[in-house]
Amino acid sequence: MSGRGLPCSPAEISSLFLFEKLSPEQLGRLCGEGRLERFEPGPVYTEGDPATCFYVMIEGTVVLYRRVGADDVEVSRTSQRGVYSGATAVRATATLRERVAKMRHKLAVIASGAYDPEALARLIEIQERTAELVAKAPVLSPLEASDREDALTDWLDDHDVPEGWRIAPTFVQAGLDTEWLEQVAAAVDEDTLPGAMGWLNYTVETELLMDEIGDSTNRISHLVDAAKQYSQLDRASYRVVDVHELLDSTLLMLSGKIGRIEVVRDYDRTLPPIPAYPAELNQVWTNLVDNAVFAVDSAGGEGTLTVRTAHEGDRLLVEFRDTGPGIPPDIRGRIFDPFFTTKPVGEGTGLGLDISWRIVVNKHHGGLQVESVPGDTRFQVLLPLTAPGPENAQDDPETAEEPV
Ligand SMILES: Nc1ncnc2c1ncn2[C@@H]1O[C@H](COP(=O)(O)OP(=O)(O)O)[C@@H](O)[C@H]1O
Ligand SMILES: [Mg+2]
């Protein structure tokens, strides 16, 4: 970054769509408090940096990257004057908003002089410690939780705190116990105790809500990453890939379908990345996982899916092993045929293995094989570790030979 303190002209920034409605006075202030900077090619800021500025582009090109696994993926590029970034999107649930409003109301009560300054200082100190406790709250068994709730409700009733039965579960969820209640009671007068408890209850609820929002945004961003990785929409269709990343994103995308089937990942992390069509490979994993899940579910739903990777000579093996009932020998020769299915109408198309064959064998010059006995079925995908010669690279999967 260089050229700090370039002259900012109100006339120039007034032509940006963001600022076109500002008065000359406001534009002047913006120029005074903001600054014009010139950035050399390279990162301006990185996700996770503290937000210090609101940026508006006056001239140049800005590229937005998103980190997907170990790669930076370009998500947008623009030279449009006036594009901006750094405005934070704040997600807040309606409940959080409501709690904060109630806390504001409490503040008004406090300001009216209901608490003496020393008690207030102690209360705020307790509030700080409470917020820390919430972050470390242990997970209790339902029985432990209900015992604690009873104890806290009794305590609150004994100390004339209204609606103890409503507050107690929140306090328990936050990891607070009667010992903590005693500390609060020791810090404030008897007649301010109910108010203090109400105030701390809001603190706890707010902390819990923020945890919840934090967790869900994390989950959402993981899912978005996985969905992107899975769809490969913004990636080259043929490139060098780490099969483990593809497997992980597929398993995450299918986690709802996998349900309570145990998934074991037995990855050989020393395997090199390989040249492949990742979106297509994800389709293969999807089909094989889907079949394994169906097989295990049909046998009662208790079982294991093991996804294993290994070196197999000059090829990379990806094996999907399930503990389902297996494939009867008399149909084993037909399962790769298009439209062959043993599933009820509407549940199977009979195309999963046919498509997988086309992708693995025809498109990747790999192998697809199956071994099956009741309780142990293994679909094995073998992929070349290196790219095929150019004479093979142009194969069109649609016209390539059918499996027999
Ligand atoms: N893991 C497995 N366990 C038992 N049978 C399987 C398994 N995978 C595939 N099959 C058999 O192969 C058939 C064809 O599979 P597929 O081509 O994926 O079509 P679909 O799943 O739509 O039936 C299935 O209907 C099933 O009979
Ligand atoms: Mg299938």
Q: 261 CA distance to ligand 2 centroid (A)?
A: 17
Residue nearest to atom 9 of ligand 1 (CA): 291
Q: pLDDT tens, position by position, for the chain (404 residues)?
A: 333 567 888 888 888 877 878 888 888 888 888 888 888 888 888 876 766 777 888 888 888 777 666 777 776 677 778 777 754 435 446 677 777 878 778 777 777 776 778 888 888 888 888 888 888 888 888 889 999 999 999 999 999 999 999 999 999 999 999 999 999 999 888 888 888 898 889 888 888 888 888 887 777 777 777 777 777 777 778 999 999 999 999 998 898 889 899 999 999 999 999 999 999 999 999 999 999 999 999 988 899 999 999 999 999 999 999 999 999 999 999 999 999 999 988 888 899 999 999 999 999 999 999 999 999 999 999 999 998 765 444 444 444 444 44
Q: 295 CA distance to ligand 1 centroid (A)?
A: 8
Nearest to 10 by CA among 56, 25, 53: 25
Nearest to 381 by CA among 247, 236, 197, 254: 247
Please report the domains of the chain, with CATH numbers, ordered by start residue: 2-85 (no CATH), 94-212 (no CATH), 237-393 (3.30.565.10)
User: Pairing mode, if any, of strands 304-312 and 315-322?
Assistant: antiparallel
Name the closest ligand to CA 348.
Answer: 1
Q: Which residue of 287, 293, 335 sits with most ligand 1 atoms within 8 Å of its CB, as the best mutation to test the pocket?
A: 335
- 320 Cα nearest atom in ligand 1: 1
Residue at token pair 């100390």: 159
- How far is it, in rounded angstroms, from Cα 332 to Cα 287? 17
- How far is it, in rounded angstroms, from Cα 289 to Cα 246? 13
Residue nearest to atom 21 of ligand 1 (CA): 348
